């Protein structure tokens, strides 16, 4: 007959200090506050936009008309706003993604440490330049340089719809093409910063193992650094896209020169969601008129929130080697 088991020794009680309780409470409260704040913003936009959406005389999603001058006869649709917003942001993303990836790889894999750190600071400082400065730079300095390029694209690739004639001359400089390049510079530090941090977290053992097998520098990047950090690069790009979608001042300066609808070309001018709201601030005297602009803001809020949520989800998978 087996001997009775000895009673288990009392486990030591876990000591929780008062400072830990305070910090935990602050952290939990901060998280709850942020979630509640975002929810409150969304509910506010929805409630304020609903009466105007009910009174709208045209399709909100598919109409190209925007006439809110008469509060009793509202006609507003977001098709043109959505095109200018998304097109300028995608042009920026197409330009900024390869440049940002190249800068991140250079800083983490090729540049000597004495050069990488100050160069990274310079790239990060691009985020500190005010939007109005970017807008003025785009109109005054960049547009004249880009005009010959825009004319060449329009002349030789005009058979492609996005390079066809827009609602302004291709060489005017005040179009989505110029705005997209300005936005690319503005989102460059965001994408580069996230990508650089992810590439730096590549396990040293993986890099040294590839080098021990005789891999060249590029083969190390292709077989270890890139598979580890590609999700972070995509996540950072989505964060940059969210930044571009909400840009206001720079695009207002560059694109707001016309009142006619776009022709769905990158040589269009017009208004984005954000710039339309900024330009319409003079009409914020009637709840119904305000509600029309809040409706556009609600679409931008949902779009930006969705893009950033996708970015965070992709970035959280970074380093797992999955596409």
Residue-wise pLDDT tens digits, 137-154: 999 999 999 999 999 999
Q: State yes or no: pLDDT of 88 exceeds 50.
A: yes
* Averaged pLDDT for residues 254-276: 86
CA 137 to chain centre: 21
Q: What is the pLDDT of residues 269-310, one digit of tens each?
A: 888 999 888 888 877 888 888 999 999 999 999 998 888 888
Average pLDDT over residues 89-110: 93
Q: Is the pLDDT of residue 177 over 70?
A: yes
pLDDT exceeds 80 at position 184: yes
- 126-144 average pLDDT score: 91
CA distance 131 to 146: 20
> Tokens 């580890």, residue?
228
Q: What is the pLDDT of residue 321?
A: 44
C-alpha 208/C-alpha 73 separation (Å) is: 69
Give the pLDDT confidence score for residue 192 in this predicted structure: 93
The fraction of the chain above a pLDDT of 90, given in percent, is 37
Residue 61 tokens read as 């999603």
- Give pTM, 2 decimals: 0.85
The CA-atom distances, in angstroms, between 256 and each of 22, 84, 86, 138, 174 are 50, 11, 16, 13, 8
pLDDT the model gives residue 7: 54
CA neighbours within 13 Å on the CB side: how many for 91?
20
Q: Indicate the pLDDT class of residue 322, thresholds 50, 70 and 90.
A: very low
Question: Dihedral angle at the C-alpha atoms of 134, 139, 140, 141, nearest 10 degrees?
Answer: 70
Q: Which of 241, 210, 245 is nearest to 225 (CA)?
A: 210
* Residues in Cβ contact with 120 at an 8 Å cutoff, skipping those fewer than 6 apart: 107, 196
Helix (H) or strand (E) holding 75: strand 75-76
pLDDT band of 246, cuts 50, 70, 90? confident
Instruction: Give pLDDT, residue 317.
Output: 62
Q: How confident is the model at residue 12 (pLDDT cuts 50, 70, 90)?
A: low
Which pLDDT value is given to residue 46? 92
pLDDT for residue 6 is more than 60: no
Name the residue with higher pLDDT: 45 or 311: 45
In this predicted model, what pLDDT tens digit does every residue of 49-67 receive, in sequence order? 999 999 899 999 998 998 8
Bigger pLDDT: 312 vs 23? 23
Q: Taking residues 105-124, what's their average pLDDT?
A: 88
Show Cβ contacts of residue 127 under 8 Å, excluding neighbours closer than 6 positions.
186, 189, 190
């Amino acid at each position: 007959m087996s001997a009775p088991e000895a009673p288990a020794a009392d486990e030591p009680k876990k000591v929780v200090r008062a400072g830990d309780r305070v910090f935990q409470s602050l952290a939990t409260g901060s998280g709850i506050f942020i979630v509640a704040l975002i929810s409150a913003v969304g509910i506010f936009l929805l409630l304020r936009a609903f009466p105007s959406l009910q009174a709208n005389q045209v399709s909100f999603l598919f109409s190209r008309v925007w006439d809110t001058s008469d509060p009793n006869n509202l006609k507003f649709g977001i098709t043109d706003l959505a095109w200018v917003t998304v097109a300028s942001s995608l042009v920026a993303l197409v330009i900024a993604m390869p440049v940002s990836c190249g800068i991140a790889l250079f800083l983490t894999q090729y540049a000597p440490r004495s050069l990488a750190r100050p160069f990274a600071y310079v790239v990060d400082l691009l985020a500190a330049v005010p939007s109005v400065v970017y807008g003025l730079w785009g109109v005054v300095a960049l547009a004249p340089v880009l005009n010959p390029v825009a004319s060449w694209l329009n002349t030789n690739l005009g058979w492609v719809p996005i390079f066809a004639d827009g609602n302004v001359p291709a060489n005017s400089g005040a179009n989505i093409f110029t705005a997209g390049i300005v936005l690319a510079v503005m989102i460059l530090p965001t994408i580069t910063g996230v990508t650089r941090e992810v590439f730096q977290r590549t396990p040293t053992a993986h890099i040294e193992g590839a080098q021990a097998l005789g891999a060249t520098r590029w083969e190390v990047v292709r077989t270890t650094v890139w598979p580890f950090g590609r999700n972070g690069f995509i996540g950072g790009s989505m964060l940059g896209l969210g930044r571009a979608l909400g840009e206001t001042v720079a695009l207002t300066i560059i694109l707001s020169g016309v009142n006619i609808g776009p022709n769905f070309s990158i040589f269009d001018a017009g208004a984005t969601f954000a710039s339309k709201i900024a330009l319409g601030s003079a009409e914020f005297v009637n709840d119904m008129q305000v509600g029309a602009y809040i409706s556009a803001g609600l679409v931008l809020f949902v779009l930006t929130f969705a893009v950033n949520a996708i970015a965070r989800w992709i970035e959280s998978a970074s380093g797992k080697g999955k596409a």
